[in-house]
Amino acid sequence: MTADTAIFLTFDALADLSRRILRHHGLGPNQIEAVTRTIVAGERDGCASHGAYRLIVCAATLATGKVIRDADPEVCDSAPGLARVDAGGGYAQLAFERGLPLLVEKAQAAGIAALAINNCVHFAALWPEIEAVTDQGLVALACTPSHAWVAPAGGRKPLFGTNPLAFGWPRPGPYPFVFDFATSAVARGEIELHCRSGRKIPTGWGIDREGNDTTDPAAALAGAMLTFGGHKGSALSAMIELIAGPLIGDMTSAESLTADEGAGSSPIGGELIVAIDPSGFLGDAAAQHMNRAEALFEGITAQGARLPSQRRFAAREQSQERGGVTLARTLHDDLLRLLD
């Protein structure tokens, strides 16, 4: 991007813009701070589909009235290894921040614990939550359904959400091992970005309303998205529907889309986060065994392959060196228009 097509914003300037947009669209102060931390982190890490672009998504969602703007999440200590946060109809971020200390305490006490976030609106990547758990020396797993946009393998009609699955493993040094991906071929946000910029999508991402392969992003958004890895992504997606839906008393992606009533909000429902303390299985030998994982990571990179999140951590370092992020001017202009 050139100076004509791009604009540099310091982290503070982006956070300030995020706060102003969210306030202008009626979100309450606590929710604003938690959402803004996610927006800035996403842009800092070079996550185009889940960074500053999400402010456009938030503004549209707030306009639907589907978010409780001043929700005050409530934490519930539900069982020895289980915690629950009722997000109160607000965004998932503040609910997660409130529930994290109890999740960590329980995982450290019992070796494993799970946190259910219920009744939340979800628009974000899962890696911020994964990293918050690995920062405590715990192994982490997270998933959430979304809206029914994705056809099961062998079918042609939307049923599953784009249902992300994320995993984290604490490592020596600044960065954990983390992957975080949609169980659809790609996040819906990525297809939306292709639509915004007039780019075609590869075949395999989606089908049109008639069930035909398409490279037209608008046709795929109107038709159905496809799972990654055929029946394998499809089964993982079904698992996420189950364990972050009925298992925690919350909505499937189909139910979320029904609850949306055509308004076009971000998905509504639950999220499941599991934390495992390595010393639960291994006691004093935990550090020694955790270090054996380093040979595995070395085995991956020694072949010239890269670790998941390696690109993202490199983007983070570059942003931190520069003290901010570079936004496309078209996106920045669209963000400023949200203040009209």
Catalytic site residues? Answer: 49-50, 190
Sole window of 66-74, 76-84, 182-190, 234-242 interacting with ligand PYC (rule: CB under 6 A): 182-190
| Consecutive H or E run containing 179 | strand 177-182
- Among 38, 119, 162, 234, the residue binding ligand PYC under the rule CB under 6 A is 162
Sole window of 14-22, 180-188, 207-215, 268-276 interacting with ligand PYC (rule: CB under 6 A): 180-188
HSE-up (13 A, CA, CB side) for residue 171: 16
CB-based contact 142:129 (threshold 8 Å): yes
312 binds ligand NDP (CB under 6 A): yes
Sole window of 13-21, 113-121, 187-195, 308-316 interacting with ligand PYC (rule: CB under 6 A): 187-195
> H/E/C letters for each residue in 57-119?
HHHHHHHHCCCCCCCCCEEEEEECCEEEEECCCCEHHHHHHHHHHHHHHHHHHHCEEEEEEEE
188 binds ligand PYC (CB under 6 A): yes
Nearer to ligand NDP, 183 or 326 (CB): 183
Nearer to ligand PYC, 164 or 168 (CB): 164
Residue 77 CB-density burial (10 A; 0-12 exposed, 13-18 middle, 19+ buried) = exposed
Work out how close the CB of 131 gets to ligand NDP at its nearest, in angstroms, rounded to a whole number: 12
Encoded one letter per residue, x for contact with ligand NDP by CB under 6 A and - for no contact, window 95-124 reads ---------------------------x-x
49 binds ligand PYC (CB under 6 A): yes
Work out how close the CB of 53 gets to ligand PYC at its nearest, in angstroms, rounded to a whole number: 10
> Distances from the Cα of 62 to the Cαs of 28, 67, 89, 171, in angstroms?
11, 6, 12, 38
55 binds ligand PYC (CB under 6 A): no
> Distances from the Cα of 308 to the Cαs of 127, 150, 207, 252, 289, in angstroms?
11, 24, 28, 28, 21
**Nearest-angstrom CA–CA distance, 193 and 66:** 23
61 binds ligand PYC (CB under 6 A): no
Work out how close the CB of 22 gets to ligand PYC at its nearest, in angstroms, rounded to a whole number: 16
267 binds ligand PYC (CB under 6 A): yes
Residue 173 CB-density burial (10 A; 0-12 exposed, 13-18 middle, 19+ buried) = exposed
C-alpha 3 chain-centroid distance = 30
| 308 touches, from ligand NDP, ligand PYC, none (C-beta below 5 to 8 Å by class) | ligand NDP
Sole window of 33-41, 132-140, 185-193, 242-250 interacting with ligand NDP (rule: CB under 6 A): 185-193
Nearer to ligand NDP, 22 or 186 (CB): 186
Contacts of 263 (CB under 8 A, 6+ apart): 64, 65, 66
Nearer to ligand NDP, 14 or 191 (CB): 191
**Nearest-angstrom CA–CA distance, 293 and 319:** 28
